Chains A and B, each alone.
Chain A
């Protein structure tokens, strides 16, 4: 039945005269009703595996500003650098989180915590770029961001939603698809509570198709006078945009379709809604979703601010893991929690912590990652990595491994230089075994 619906959609789009979206939905609902129990999301979930190569997906929970490792996953209660933050036991023996993360402490069996991330970049935009692309920014070359790389490797080109969706405001840095090209740029949603802007057609579908055909015919002149490449890019973009607005899968963007019990389980706030949206999108076949929680740049009043910031992410993150597991999606969905760097072990005179890339945390879950373990550690003061240091390229190798992406293959850049997906580094194999 799924296959049938898939084929139907394709045929309608190819022939350029779709039935109206509403009618299409009515048909799906009817057939689902006939099957007796299948909901819309059952249908798309069943399909999601066929859409993505190997069914793999990735959700990046991005903590903009550089979250304090001490107030999140690596408390140091016995040391003066630990400040007032207390540690609590988790579900897993021997692993302690900060008291700010009670919900996450109950899902540790699925979490792999890396306490030995280390980098040298302490400037927000540059470090944001580094942790997203695996490369430092250069003037001459725009490296693709993780979501674009993954979307390119794993997504099906004929998929009608964007394969890379970025949710949330307050993100710094300008990482995008870079030299991979506009096709793999993130589709950005500022407010996860609303449908994406301008996705409702002003006319009926047939009229819209008619306009697109006319537009195509009127592009020739400009193409013939020096604008050929731009017209080709423009047409690609319009093909993608129109396929998207006509897609039945657009409902995936509407979190209000979730039962209130599900919404409540995720908690409240934009990040919570973002996590729920991420799950819906992955379920519908989107390959990569990035959800941002901002304001982690706690140069002052670190402890109160972290308490509140952790309060915003604790429940949604934990529920996302539970929800993905319950729906059978966690095995093939890699969840990554990270920011651009950590924060200084020393507490500054304003009760804040400054930028500290030398030792910080990353959390992984799903896609074959073995939970219930910690990789690496820092010294008692939290100043230096003691065991198993993980550099940014090591992390990227590890992410690629979890997603079945060959990290050593090369993409051709705009200046004609082949660029490896990841430059050097080694898979942290312990994460998977």
Chain B
């Protein structure tokens, strides 16, 4: 509880320092208050077919929260201590403690890296992915607000290997059409890119509006300097009067153009129409001829303004969906304006309070994690006709989370890429985490129930050298545990705690006992048990 007071007074102080306008301290609602309100609103807003699921037990809860916040499982000590703690506020205290762990930023930095880079249209952007993840981690860990982060990505310039906030522009090779599509998708939850070529068939956006949005970015480009090794990429801005000519669709975009032109549909070779920068949601506009910095500053300001509800809603929907297992809107990055929402009043409330908090990402995590909707046991995804949010939905872990579990379990060093200049794709490709991600990773914006396991994933877990060595009874973790724990039941429990962060059920313990007897070789039997835990469905999911 004491920690809670300190944490809140700290943020209040920041709120005061931020001054007038958004996030004023008096507007901030306490997370537990907001959480209760959310549960009440959901109860009244959703049709109910039966009672909601019970709250998850402590073992499920601590693994869920730790995976969700830190991207890895709790240690056996954490699990045991949490289970025996009978403090009334232990769940809230755990959430607060983990929110202040630097692995929170690391985990969510990787998450947003994936959001950005799974949609990259510029293959060479791959080398900047880790730089971007590191940047995001640092920003999240210093508690930068979501509007600050969004603004930094929208207004980025400079050396891609030094400035991680160039990631979004780099991932799209600086092409205005692609960059604004991603800005709109990620920060507003609006899929305006379909209006690029034609008026949107199911949305109200017109082709002109898409190109007016692109008109905030024409002067931006990604310049490639091949004379250095590795080649250097820079997000550059050109505000000069004279511009090099550029053809639409060119994939070598090394220099900007003064204005964005909407191509002529009937004549792709024509120069097209010059577009004025206009923000489609508010119709706020700039004149053609405006300098780049003014364009992008204005766009960032209009997007992140508290008078624009989409910005907060898009973030809330995404984080809610990640934590509760299903979103108010699905897919997470397609909010409308003409999409169905399962509980519109609730998300509006949560988005408004998130904006009041000054877009404090920790506030939102804290609040959602205190709701019953989050804390319930997990059940299979509900039938489309049944009410949502009556139970948490099991989530398949992301590649990074699975790799962290394996590296923690077997004590494998995580040789990530050193960020900054000199980071090369070749170096990155050798990192076990990177290789692992290329097999287990998925686009976090894709509907989660469509993410399925693959044969190569099964083959890695079955046969890869890391696993083979990890389960070897003659070395490493299993060797030392076999030496120090002589009682078989205790050793089974220990392996379950390490692998799945819980105790085995009676049936599981029984299966293992029989197996050990049947095999007759203690080392071999425990190798097989540990192998089975790593290869289990539960190991790859958080429930």
Contacts and interface: CB of A to CB of B under 8 A. Distances in A.
A245 B461 CA distance: 13
B210 to A, nearest CB: 13
B331 A346 contact: no
A223 B252 CA distance: 51
A238 interface: yes
B536 A219 contact: yes
Contacts of B511: 214, 217-218
Interface string A236-253: 011011101100000000
Interface string B468-499: 10000000000000000000000000000000
B380 A198 contact: no
**Residue from A219, A225, A229, A245 with most neighbouring chain B CB atoms (10 Å):** A225
A354 B250 CA distance: 7
Nearest to A142: B450
B463 A122 contact: no
Nearest to A216: B532
Contact of A238 (B458, B464, B543): B458
A299 B251 contact: yes
Contacts, number: 166
28 contacts: A120-B197, A125-B121, A170-B123, A174-B446, A182-B454, A201-B462, A207-B524, A208-B462, A214-B528, A215-B535, A220-B507, A221-B505, A222-B536, A222-B541, A226-B379, A227-B537, A230-B394, A234-B453, A237-B454, A241-B455, A242-B462, A299-B250, A348-B250, A349-B245, A354-B247, A354-B248, A414-B450, A415-B384
Interface of A: 120, 122-125, 139-140, 142, 162, 170, 172, 174, 178-179, 181-182, 185, 187-188, 196-202, 207-208, 210-211, 214-215, 217-223, 225-231, 233-234, 237-238, 240-242, 244-245, 297, 299-300, 344, 346, 348-350, 352, 354-355, 414-416
Residue among B123, B505, B524 with max Cβ neighbours from chain A (10 Å):
B505
Contacts of B446: 174
B268 interface: yes
A210 B515 CA distance: 10
Nearest to A354: B249
Nearest to B463: A198
B529 interface: yes
B269 interface: yes
Interface of B: 121, 123, 191, 196-197, 245, 247-252, 268-269, 331, 334, 377-380, 384, 391, 394, 396, 443, 446, 449-450, 452-460, 462-465, 467-468, 504-505, 507-508, 511-512, 515, 519, 524, 528-529, 531-533, 535-538, 540-541, 543
| 8 tightest Cβ-Cβ pairs between the two chains A and B | A182-B452, A198-B459, A241-B458, A202-B468, A222-B538, A234-B537, A215-B532, A198-B463
Contacts of A214: 511, 515, 528-529, 532
Given A139-B334, A214-B515, A218-B533, A344 B268 contact: yes
Nearest to B246: A349
Nearest to B510: A217
B528 A227 contact: no
A200 B462 CA distance: 10
Contact of A226 (B504, B535, B543): B543
Given A198-B459, A198-B460, A348-B247, 12 more contacts: A188-B456, A197-B460, A207-B524, A211-B535, A215-B531, A225-B543, A227-B541, A230-B541, A237-B454, A240-B458, A245-B463, A354-B247
